[in-house]
Structure 1
Amino acid sequence: MTMKKISSFILAGLMLVAASCKESEFTERYADPSKIAESTVEKQYTGFLFASKDYILPGYGQYFVTLRTTLSRYNQAVGWPNESGQYVPASAGVQDMWFNYYNSLAQYRELEKIYNSRPAEEQAAKRIFMLTAKVYLYNYTQRMVDLHGAIPFTEAGMLSTNGGDYAGSNAKFDSPESLYTMMLDDLKAIATELNTITVGAGYLKGFQTQDFVNKGDITMWKRFANSLRLRMLNRVSAAATFSGRSNTEIAEILNNPATYPVVETNDQNIQINVYDVNTDVNSKGFQDGLASAGWYGNTAGKKMIDFMNSTSDPRLKLLFEPGENAKGAYIGIDPIGTSATQTALFNTGTVSIYNRYVLSSNQFFPGVIINAPEINLIKAEYYLRTGVDGSAKTAYETAISQSVKFYTAIANLSNATLGTKPVSPTDAQIAAYIATDAVNWTKATTSAAKLSLIATQKWLHYNVVQPYENWADIRRLDLPALTFQTDNANNQTTPPVRWNYPGNEITYNTDNYALVRESDKLTTKLFWDVK
């Protein structure tokens, strides 16, 4: 049997050792699992976290291969010249991310296998590793469900656990509703258990050493678990079978911050920070991934630029820089313009690009997972939905201020040699922006108008930095309203609402794929996308 004839789940199992062999020893604190004679819970935990880092930290593969021609465009976070087939996700990018997820899942299954082989006393002492690993896994799993719908999970990544049984390791596809239910149930149970867990001093030191996400801070893991719950509960708030649960559990979380803490401030953001760019935990690939010359990965879209110009958005200079021949003007590519006009903006150097100093050339750019502006915008949406306008307004305005300060802080981290460091916006500038007609909460006199404000601020805050959350919210809310050129030369005439499954999965997981084939269309909405 050749490698090409093995389904992605089996491949993920085989990649357990290969993945660690490809990565150098990324810091003295986190030993390379491939150089350890026998793995441990602690070392395998770090190997699991490390497996997905290229899809959290901004890098070449994620931004150039996967996002450049898919979500960055569907979100109109960038501008590009129209071409036939532009609304069909490129197979290479979809497959790369699919393989990375299932390699990560296989690493998690190996962690489970090692943990389950240990004596009960050791398992109890190391319980913190398994609880936090599951939170981290569910963050990635939610992303995959929101991209594809049904995915293999409960039986996936089991080749090592199944003793190398290839045929027995092909996995069924679990429905997105069942996966959301499972994850929400587990995250609530984990959040509750983290409130009472006791970790011995020696094991806590090991946890702090191996955890390069939250540095062993258990309170931060509580915030991660509850913030992820909040995101997922809000995502399903309009789905008939989840709406009651959504409002009840969001209220429970927000009304009991001591029991269910969430990310409240930028100091509490869940992200992978870069401390030394000479280790493998860095964002060096962001430059080629986002800003490869001539590939429209970082060129501004007209709607975003026009809105930021019209409202004097203090993030404009943090996120964008004028084209070199634009005489200081911020200009974006019109998605319904002609290809000739769109290309001319680029060729003449007049289109704006994402700020290289803050973003693409910033090797210290963090791997963003969940942050305070996102959580406050979720709160604003919930409070609006439940008729608590004052709380909605407070959360909305807090999120805007936090978003500006989030990008200001990232600019202050930068080691970039390209672009120019923007001047930090003042509190007065932030307040003036919030008071502009197109942003002001009080001037929006209907719930629909206020929801549009929230959605627009999510879109601006997420931009190219949180593309998966951006695309999910745009599909769920149909806001902000984005206009695209119709591609009449292709069967897919408008942006898709989900991704197809990759070709290898279709070919080599044949029996299980057959059960979901009818839903494997770019026009099949996810269960939470009910508008």
Structure 2
Amino acid sequence: MKIKSLYLYVLLVAGLTSCSYSEFEDSYTDPSKLSETTVGKQFSGMIYSNREFVLPSYWNYFVIHRITNNRYNQATGWVNVENQYVPGSAAVNDRWNSYYNVLAQYREIQKVYNALSAEQKADQRIYMITASTFFYDYTQQVIDLHGDIPWTEAGMLSTNGGDYSQSYPAYDNAEDIYTKMLDDLAAFADELNTITVKASVAAEFKTQDLINKGNVEKWKTYVNSLRLKMLTRVSGSSTFSARSNTEIGKILSSPGSYPVVIANAGNIQWDVYTLGTILPANTFQSGLEDWSGNLASKAIIDHMLGNADPRLTYVFEPGEEAEGVYMGLDPLMNGTDQNELVVSNTLTIYNRSTISRNQYFPGVIITASEVHLLAAEYYLKNNQGAMAKTHYETAIKQSLAFYQSLRSLSNNAISPDPIVPTNADIAAYLAKGPISWDAATTETAKLKLIAEQKWLHFNVIQPNENWAELRRLGLVELTFWADQSNQQSLPPTRWNLPGQEETYNQENYSVVQGDDKLTNKIFWDMN
């Protein structure tokens, strides 16, 4: 079959037929080869189809993040080249195709669920809530890269009986999609407080749920933490500002009804229990380290060194020939000098034992540190300084504990042992002038502290969130080499749409073509 556009083509469980991981295949048979499928199996298939964009993978890091977000965030250092600020077609196409593959999976869940009786739907409701939450999380990321995308009508080929002529999707307005998702997530948050899951369904859900292992309480925290993140993301938009403030206040003031992630034990993440069952065990290593993709930037090293950041030795390690000296790559150096530094092995790299060679590194979705920083921003803007300070400082402590926990999971010891900070070290960091909440005398100065801590915490671990928050807040001071050979001389403010849209979905693409520019901001970007 010739695939005209991936979001037209519905794979029932994409990737399973070609997957070499027999343990997973034995547990989750390809529903396309069965006379019958179930909502639960479709749910697992949807999550599994997105494994390389949740768990750290070679494809996501080397093909996509290495040449896009990690550079735009200056989480990494790299040797300047011409045309470096235009997102590569492979990165754009692969990310796009992955999303519409997941969307097609989600449509199949809806299709199977909608064919059930009313009683069966009630029994299987937990799957639709959780599948939608996971899907909306991914949708938000794609909107934050591109803006308007095909959505309401996308992935409907199977539902439309294979009729291509009825299945080319129009583009939805990004604000409209955000509205729909926020409406649904708010309803899910309330519904999860009253839902009853039958014992037989709960037992199946525990097996099929690859993220939270059937823990409904953790799905509550996922739903509400995702709401908090998305509401904050759009809070600067006139369309959402009042709603965001009201709903965030309701979430944070009602932890019994709307719990969020407050400690690392409750982080939303895809844990690795048995090596090689989902992804090859070395995929993160090659994805981040190949072609010097794990070099630290001067900006991030200078910030951590200059403020005695207690996370430094957990997140980074000196180059092999650096004699213990930490040094990031300066983006303003000429290319020849940059290359000389790269080959000298004196540049700081991301800590291999904590991160890239840690074969038990989880797929990070939402962490406690991120949630506390979101709360700090809300309280700051609502003149509750003491609460804002508490969440800000808690976020830093949770971030340190997060990286310490990652190192404790690792089965690799190639990197030097981290320096374990004392309570006094942590207190000194929090009291240091450039970090201290009390030393920042204006709301903007305090918001800048929050922005910088997000940047430090996300680094290469959450590149999409990092880039979105850098653009939204616009308060982390990064200087880039200007590429005078290209019209796009500095990092873009969004990704362009993939070329296949103009080729295969031309009529609908033509409606948004005039806005398909790297300099056009996403609607929530007020800078």
Q: Give the distance between the partners of 2:126 and 2:23, measured in 1 at CA.
A: 23
1:78-227 correspondence runs (5 A): 78-227=76-225
Q: Is the Cα contact below 8 Å between 1:79 and 1:335 reproduced in 2?
A: yes
Q: Tell me the amino acid that sits aligned with residue 33 of structure 1.
A: D
- Equivalent position SS for 2:269: strand
Q: Which amino acid aligns with 1:143?
A: Q
Is 1:447 paired with 2:443?
Answer: yes
Q: After the TM superposition, which residues 112-511 of structure 1 pair with which residues of structure 2 at under 5 Å, given as runs? A: 112-280=110-278, 284-292=282-290, 295-511=291-507
Tell me how far apart the structure 1 counterparts of residues 103 and 454 of structure 2 sit (CA, whole Å). 29
Unaligned runs of 5+ residues in structure 2 are none
CA offset digits 1:361-405 (Å, max 9, x no partner): 111100000010000000111111111110000000000000000
In the TM superposition, what is the alpha-carbon distance from 1:423 to its structure 2 partner? 4.0
> How far 1:19 sits from its partner (Å)?
2.2
Q: Secondary structure at the match of 2:492?
A: coil
Pairing of 1:16-95 with structure 2 (within 5 A): 16=12, 19-23=15-19, 24-27=21-24, 30-33=27-30, 36-95=34-93
Query: 3-state DSSP class of the match of 1:134?
Result: helix
Distance 2:388 2:382 in 1: 9
C-alpha displacement at 1:278, in angstroms?
2.8
Q: CA deviation at 1:271?
A: 0.4
Q: CA, structure 1 residues 165+28, in 2 after alignment: closer, same or farther (shift >3 Å)?
A: closer
- The SS at the match of 1:525 is coil
In the alignment, the residues of structure 2 paired with residue 27 and residue 389 of structure 1 have an alpha-carbon distance, to the nearest angstrom, of: 49
Residue 69 of structure 2 aligns with an amino acid whose one-letter code is L
Q: Deviations over 1:406-425 (max 9, x none)?
A: 00000000112532342433
For 2:279 and 2:215, locate their aligned partners in 1 and report how far apart those are by CA, in whole Å: 19
Please tell me whether the aligned partners of residues 321 and 344 of structure 2 are also in contact (alpha carbons under 8 angstroms): yes
CA drift at 1:284: 2.9
Write the distance in 2 (CA, Å) between the matches of 1:283 and 1:165.
41
User: Within 1, Cα distance between the matches of 2:279 and 2:40?
Assistant: 18
Q: Which residue of the partner structure matches residue 2 of structure 1?
A: 2
How far apart in 2 are the matches of 1:418 and 1:508? 48
Aligned partners of 1:489 and 1:242: how far apart in 2? 39
2-structure distance, mates of 1:356, 1:248: 43
SS of aligned partner of 1:369: strand
Q: Percent identical across equivalent pairs?
A: 52
In 2, Cα distance between equivalents of 1:512 and 1:72: 31
Question: Which residue identity is paired with 1:96?
Answer: D
How far the C-alpha of 1:503 sits from its partner, in A, is 1.1
Contact 2:13 2:46 in 1 (8 A): no
Q: For residues 202 and 281 of structure 1, do their structure 2 counterparts lie closer, same or farther at Cα, with a shift above 3 Å needed?
A: farther
Q: Which moved more, 1:28-37 or 1:416-425?
A: 28-37
Deviation at 1:142, TM superposition (A): 0.2
1:270 and 1:43 map into 2 onto residues whose CA distance is 21
Whichever residue aligns with residue 432 of structure 1, its letter is A
Q: CA RMSD in A?
A: 1.4
TM-score (norm 2): 0.97
**Which has the larger displacement, 110-119 or 266-275?**
110-119
**How far is 1:8 from its partner?**
2.6
Measure, in 2, the Cα distance between the counterparts of 1:281 and 1:426. 36
Amino acid at match of 2:391: A
**CA distance, structure 1, for counterparts of residue 281 and residue 162 of structure 2:** 36
CA shift digits 1:5-50 (9 cap, x unpaired): x023124x2x335522122344388323256442111111100111
1: CA distance between counterparts of 2:65 and 2:149? 20
Amino acid at match of 2:299: K
- CA contact 1:25–1:32 (8 Å) conserved in 2: no
My pick for the range that moved more, 311-320 or 273-282, is: 273-282
Give the letter aligned to residue 2 of structure 1. K
CA distance in 1, matches of 2:394, 2:13: 45
Taking the aligned partners of 1:165 and 1:421, their CA distance within structure 2 comes to 59
Alpha-carbon distance in structure 1 between the residues aligned to 2:520 and 2:470: 15
Deviates more, 1:276-285 or 1:171-180: 276-285
CA distance in 2, matches of 1:429, 1:146: 37
1:283–1:366: 8 Å Cα contact kept in structure 2?
no
Q: Distance in 2 between matches of 1:442 and 1:341?
A: 40
**Residue type at the aligned position of 2:132:** K
Q: Is the 8 A contact 1:336 1:485 kept in 2?
A: yes
Task: Check conservation: 2:310, 2:425, Cα contact below 8 A.
Answer: yes
1 CA distance for matches of 2:392 and 2:322?
A: 33
Return the letter of the residue paired with 2:82. S
Q: Which residue of 2 aligns with 1:518?
A: 514
| TM-aligned CA deviation for residue 427 of structure 1 | 2.8
Following the alignment from structure 1 to structure 2, what is the Cα–Cα distance between the partners of residues 435 and 282? Answer: 43
Q: Distance in 1 between matches of 2:294 and 2:429?
A: 25
What is the distance in 2 between the residues matched to 1:388 and 1:362? 40
Partner AA of 2:160 in structure 1: N
Distance in 1, Cα, partners of 2:23 & 2:146: 32
- Give how far 1:116 is off: 1.1
CA distance in 1, matches of 2:340, 2:135: 44
Residues 282, 364 of structure 1: 8 Å contact kept = no
8 Å CA contact retained: 2:12, 2:30: no
Deviation for aligned residue 1:136: 0.4
Contact (CA 8 Å) 1:138, 1:183: kept in 2 or not?
yes
Q: How far apart are the structure 2 equivalents of 1:476 and 1:433?
A: 26
CA distance in 2, matches of 1:424, 1:133: 40
Aligned equivalents of 1:17 and 1:404: distance in 2? 38
> Is the partner of 1:238 in helix, strand or coil?
coil
Q: Which runs of 5+ in 1 are unaligned?
A: none
Residue type at the aligned position of 2:310: P
In 1, the alpha carbon distance for the partners of 2:94 and 2:29 equals 23
Q: C-alpha displacement at 1:158, in angstroms?
A: 1.1
Contact 2:14–2:49 (8 Å) recurs in 1: no
Q: Is the 8 A contact 1:59 1:283 kept in 2?
A: no
Aligned 8 A contact 1:274 1:282 in 2: no
Distance 2:294 2:172 in 1: 36
Instruction: Report the Cα offset of residue 342 of structure 1.
Output: 1.3
Q: Is the 8 A contact 2:157 2:164 kept in 1?
A: yes
Inter-partner Cα distance in structure 2 for 1:252 and 1:238: 18
